[in-house]
Amino acid sequence: MADAVFVGMPKRLVAVSIDGRDVEVTEGSTILEACRRMSIDTPTLCQLDTLAPVNVCRVCVVELEGSRVLVPACSRKVEAGMKIRTDSERVNHSRRLVLELLASSVDMSLCAPQVQAWMTRYGATPSRFGTGAATVAQPVKVDNELYVRDYSRCILCYKCVEACGVEAQNTFAIGVAGRGAR
């Protein structure tokens, strides 16, 4: 008799509606994954496929019918029947504000081109929070040629923090302090 091979339970599909279009995604997927499935470009800063969501940047938020608050697409799992909007005025306003606040406190000029594209898309105007960005008045820290820290350009994505944490290195070498304009 052949040995039994355990292949696990097949994953069910979950039907949701995003921006008025129906889509089925695998149970356990996030809203972000469902959006990607539909080629809806969703801004993210702190999300990385290989790390558990830390939910700190809030630039990925979407509107979920029945929810009083906007929900983070990167961590909220899909549930059958969800009605999600990624393009409402409320979503756009929230994303714009997140990008404006970030860009008003750090220098985003050399940031990833994709972040610049999101700033343009959402009409972010960081100057309305003051003229000068870069409130992080610290010299660039050069530990060695592979490890250079310029906090005036840090967009607080937490990826370096998380990479040093329990999911990867377990060194806890980097933390976050001094968030905000002051």
The residues that touch ligand FES, with contacts defined as CB under 6 A, are: 44-47, 55-60, 72, 74
Closest approach of ligand FES to the CB of residue 132, in Å: 26
- Cβ-based neighbours of 134, under 8 Å, separated by 6 or more: 105, 106, 107, 152
- Cβ-based neighbours of 155, under 8 Å, separated by 6 or more: 45, 102, 106, 108, 111, 115
Rounded CA gap, 18 and 89, in Å? 15
Measured from the CB atom, the residue of 1 and 31 that comes closer to ligand FES is: 31
Quote the Cα angle for 107-137-177, to 5°: 85
Closest approach of ligand FES to the CB of residue 106, in Å: 16
Token pair of 93 as six digits: 């306003």
Measured from the CB atom, the residue of 22 and 68 that comes closer to ligand FES is: 68
Question: Distance of CA 75 to CAs 84, 124, 164, 171, Å?
Answer: 14, 24, 20, 25
Closest approach of ligand FES to the CB of residue 100, in Å: 16
Measured from the CB atom, the residue of 6 and 157 that comes closer to ligand FES is: 157
For residue 56, count CB atoms less than 10 angstroms from its CB and return exposed for 0-12, middle for 13-18, buried for 19 or more. Answer: middle
In the complex, residue closest to ligand FES by CB: 74
Measured from the CB atom, the residue of 141 and 179 that comes closer to ligand FES is: 179
Measured from the CB atom, the residue of 52 and 142 that comes closer to ligand FES is: 52
Closest approach of ligand FES to the CB of residue 135, in Å: 21
Closest approach of ligand FES to the CB of residue 30, in Å: 9
Rounded CA gap, 53 and 76, in Å? 10
